[in-house]
């Protein structure tokens, strides 16, 4: 695994925690948030331009339209599809504002969109949350933890869009607070201005993961040149004692939930610095740094050429030969990474050693890839809904049939926050039973593990998956008293 060192060599001139580097005049007036109704009006106006096509990807739980905007030059052969989506978290508006700005800029200056590129934008994935200035949607669900079970209308619509667009490259837009009390107590302000990470789900193939790593690294120099402090995205506590890691490798967030469709998937987080409890005094700068990064990704020709060389025009996810099921963040070397902060006393950017930064994703356990998965007839209804939401094909058994299977036993589900592995609970530990020949009853479901859907089927159904379905109450309830999970592995008969 590649080792990424955060470099804190670039010093920025700052005063009162604010960067001197000026933002262009066109951003300076962007200090008001765009409401849902203003947004609707903007995209409807753009729709009259021949380069823009507006559609409704679905509706939110309060019935607001989830607008999807396609932008492409007319009469051009498309070979590279890009999808930017924002505001899964309603109280993180800068990504939305940047996507609106980008769309308007392309209308005014079509050269911003390279030839042969089709750009799709969904700037408001969670309009209900946005209107309430809250993270969750109107029925109190965190959309960015719903990409596995797809119980929310908004995430269902987002995934339908993914399956129909099949983007080569997608970016999920978020924000983080860079002025947390924990840092302030140390006399520091967090100092990555904007951060980006790539899909790291262990089932993704190495080429896709290293393309992602390469792209994030490639963004560093153009951003730093513009006076924007850019880093690979990380989360965690305050250094030196707190633990840090890169973005979660689980399927339930947008980053990997999108990544399992096979294209290159990324997340961007821009840093919010509140002043006198005003969340948006620095909004123009956040929108500016967001727009710069998005345009850089959109316009970089080498990124496109490398991606096309890997994929061609159609995305074909590769079926892995084994399935990593358990993994954790670790540090494979003794050297400490560092974290950039602004020292409040001197107003200078400095680097703090972070000996508990865990940069390496270690696979603890893998299982062989089964031929298919078998779902018990009693639980078929719930799984039919789940598979339909993911548009994963399956068969229903009509006459009793002999199959060689392997059932799985649930050992534990950890529901509390785990202080060593830093995870919001839900870690599933399941073990494999010996192989057995069984007569399968009618009404049971068979879900084949096939090339096009293989990664998604494994991610969703593999019973020994550490962050699998049994972290959710609906599926945990199905586990029998003798701990048998409702999904078994169907094996090839020799």
Smallest gap, in angstroms, from Cβ of residue 144 to Zn ion?
A: 6
Smallest gap, in angstroms, from Cβ of residue 170 to Zn ion?
A: 15
Based on CB atoms, which residue is closest to Zn ion, 92 or 197? 92
Strand order in the sheet with 264-272: 52-59, 65-71, 117-122, 80-86, 169-177, 264-272, 194-198, 230-232
Residues 6+ apart with CB under 8 A from 313: 79
- Helical packing angle, 206-225 and 301-311, nearest 10°: 180
Residues 6+ apart with CB under 8 A from 277: none
Rounded to whole angstroms, how far apart are CA atoms 192 and 8?
Answer: 10
For residue 303, give the 3-state DSSP assignment.
helix
Q: Which one of the spans 61-69, 171-179, 223-231, 349-357 is the region binding Zn ion (CB under 5 A)?
A: 171-179
- Contact code string over 22-61 relative to Zn ion, x by CB under 5 A: ----------------------------------------
Based on CB atoms, which residue is closest to Zn ion, 85 or 467? 85
According to CB under 5 A, which residues from 378 to 417 bind Zn ion? none
According to CB under 5 A, which residues from 68 to 107 bind Zn ion? 89, 92
Rounded to whole angstroms, how far apart are CA atoms 270 and 289?
Answer: 8
Q: 174, 245, 304, 407: which one contacts Zn ion (CB under 5 A)?
A: 174
Smallest gap, in angstroms, from Cβ of residue 194 to Zn ion?
A: 14
Exposure of 138 in the CB half-sphere (CA atoms within 13 A): 14
CB 407 within 8 A of CB 437: no
Binding residues for Zn ion, how many (CB under 5 A)?
3
Smallest gap, in angstroms, from Cβ of residue 31 to Zn ion?
A: 21
Smallest gap, in angstroms, from Cβ of residue 95 to Zn ion?
A: 9
Based on CB atoms, which residue is closest to Zn ion, 139 or 451? 139
Based on CB atoms, which residue is closest to Zn ion, 270 or 430? 270
Smallest gap, in angstroms, from Cβ of residue 89 to Zn ion?
A: 4
Based on CB atoms, which residue is closest to Zn ion, 423 or 456? 423
Smallest gap, in angstroms, from Cβ of residue 139 to Zn ion?
A: 18
Angular region, 391: left φ>0, alpha ψ -120 to 50, beta rest: left
Q: Which one of the spans 48-56, 172-180, 205-213, 406-414 is the region binding Zn ion (CB under 5 A)?
A: 172-180
Based on CB atoms, which residue is closest to Zn ion, 89 or 304? 89
Based on CB atoms, which residue is closest to Zn ion, 175 or 282? 175
- Helical packing angle, 94-108 and 36-46, nearest 10°: 20
Smallest gap, in angstroms, from Cβ of residue 136 to Zn ion?
A: 11
Based on CB atoms, which residue is closest to Zn ion, 91 or 107? 91
Based on CB atoms, which residue is closest to Zn ion, 270 or 488? 270
Residues 6+ apart with CB under 8 A from 327: 202, 249, 361, 362, 363, 364, 466
- Report, in angstroms and rounded to the nearest whole number, the Rg of the chain calculated over CA atoms: 23
Rounded to whole angstroms, how far apart are CA atoms 324 and 369?
Answer: 10
Rounded to whole angstroms, how far apart are CA atoms 202 and 205?
Answer: 8
* CA 124 and chain centroid, separation: 15
Rounded to whole angstroms, how far apart are CA atoms 170 and 456?
Answer: 17
Smallest gap, in angstroms, from Cβ of residue 125 to Zn ion?
A: 11
CB neighbours of residue 86 within 10 Å: 29
Smallest gap, in angstroms, from Cβ of residue 86 to Zn ion?
A: 10
Based on CB atoms, which residue is closest to Zn ion, 118 or 172? 172
Smallest gap, in angstroms, from Cβ of residue 8 to Zn ion?
A: 25
Angstrom CA distances, 385 to 148, 390, 392, 393, 457, stand at 13, 9, 10, 12, 14
- Residue of minimal CB distance from Zn ion? 174
What tokens were used for 138?
């109107």
Based on CB atoms, which residue is closest to Zn ion, 145 or 489? 145
Interface residue list for Zn ion (CB under 5 A): 89, 92, 174
């Amino acid at each position: 695994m590649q080792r990424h060192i955060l470099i804190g060599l670039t010093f920025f001139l700052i005063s009162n925690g604010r960067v001197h580097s000026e933002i262009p005049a066109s951003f300076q007036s962007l200090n008001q948030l765009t409401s849902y109704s203003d947004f609707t009006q903007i995209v409807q106006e753009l729709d009259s331009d021949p380069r823009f096509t507006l559609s409704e990807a679905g509706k939110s739980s309060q019935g607001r339209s989830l607008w999807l905007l396609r932008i492409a030059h007319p009469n051009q052969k498309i070979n590279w599809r890009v999808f930017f989506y924002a505001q899964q978290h309603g109280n993180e508006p800068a990504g939305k504002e940047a996507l609106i700005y980008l769309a308007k800029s392309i209308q005014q200056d079509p050269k911003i969109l390279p030839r042969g590129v089709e750009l799709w934008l969904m700037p408001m994935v969670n309009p209900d949350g946005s209107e309430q200035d809250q993270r969750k949607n109107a029925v109190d669900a965190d959309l960015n933890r719903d990409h596995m079970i797809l119980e929310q209308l908004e995430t269902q619509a987002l995934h339908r869009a993914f399956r129909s667009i099949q983007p080569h490259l997608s970016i999920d837009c978020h924000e983080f607070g860079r002025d947390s009390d924990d840092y302030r107590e140390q006399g520091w302000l967090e100092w990555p201005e904007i951060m980006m990470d790539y899909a790291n789900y262990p089932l993704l193939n190495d080429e896709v993961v290293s393309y992602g790593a390469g792209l994030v690294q490639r963004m560093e120099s153009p951003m730093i040149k513009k006076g924007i402090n850019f880093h690979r995205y990380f989360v965690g506590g305050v250094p030196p004692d707190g633990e840090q890691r890169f973005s979660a490798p689980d399927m339930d967030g947008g980053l990997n939930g999108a990544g399992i469709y096979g294209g290159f998937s990324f997340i961007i987080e821009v840093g919010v610095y509140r002043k006198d409890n005003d969340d948006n005094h620095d909004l123009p700068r956040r929108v500016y740094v967001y727009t710069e990064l998005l345009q850089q990704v959109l316009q970089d020709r080498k990124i496109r050429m490398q991606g096309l060389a890997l994929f061609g025009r159609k995305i074909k996810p590769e079926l892995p030969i084994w399935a990593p099921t358990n993994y954790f963040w670790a540090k494979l070397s003794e050297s400490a990474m560092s974290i950039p902060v602004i020292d409040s006393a001197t107003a200078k950017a400095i680097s703090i050693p972070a000996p508990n930064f865990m940069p390496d994703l270690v696979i603890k356990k893998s299982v062989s890839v089964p031929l298919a998965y078998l779902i018990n007839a009693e639980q078929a209804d719930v799984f039919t809904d789940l598979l339909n939401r993911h548009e994963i094909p399956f068969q229903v058994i009509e006459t009793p049939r002999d199959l060689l299977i392997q059932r799985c036993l649930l050992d534990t589900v950890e529901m509390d926050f785990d202080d060593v592995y830093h995870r919001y609970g839900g870690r599933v530990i399941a073990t494999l039973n010996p192989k057995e020949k069984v007569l399968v009853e009618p009404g049971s479901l068979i879900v084949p593990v096939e090339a096009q859907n293989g990664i998604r089927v494994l991610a969703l159904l593999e019973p020994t998956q550490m962050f699998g379905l049994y972290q959710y109450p609906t599926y945990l309830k199905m586990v029998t008293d003798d701990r048998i999970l409702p999904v078994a592995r169907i094996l090839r008969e020799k």
